[in-house]
Amino acid sequence: MERTEVSSSNIESIGYDESKKVLEIEFKKGNIYQYQGVPDNIFQNLLHASSHGKYFNAHIKDRYPTIKIS
């Protein structure tokens, strides 16, 4: 999945597969996670948030089924 680099102290890059509703996040420490069933508007809001980490913690973390990729 292609990811877009973001300016964040915690998150390196963010990607999204609209057809599968899968959000993929690469964290600064190198771990990559996929979040299942994420609506497009949540991805868009995360991508354009003034604080990606705060938005992630408030709206994504522990709210969607998660798979650790690496």
10-44 confidence digits (pLDDT tens)? 999 999 999 999 999 999 999 999 999 999 999 99
39-48 confidence digits (pLDDT tens)? 999 999 999 9
Domain ranges of the chain: 3-68
Which run of H or E residues covers position 42?
helix 40-48
What is residue 65's predicted lDDT score, i.e. its pLDDT? 98
42-70 confidence digits (pLDDT tens)? 999 999 999 999 999 999 999 999 999 99
What is residue 67's predicted lDDT score, i.e. its pLDDT? 98
State how far the Cα of 41 lies from the Cα of 47, in Å rounded to an integer: 10
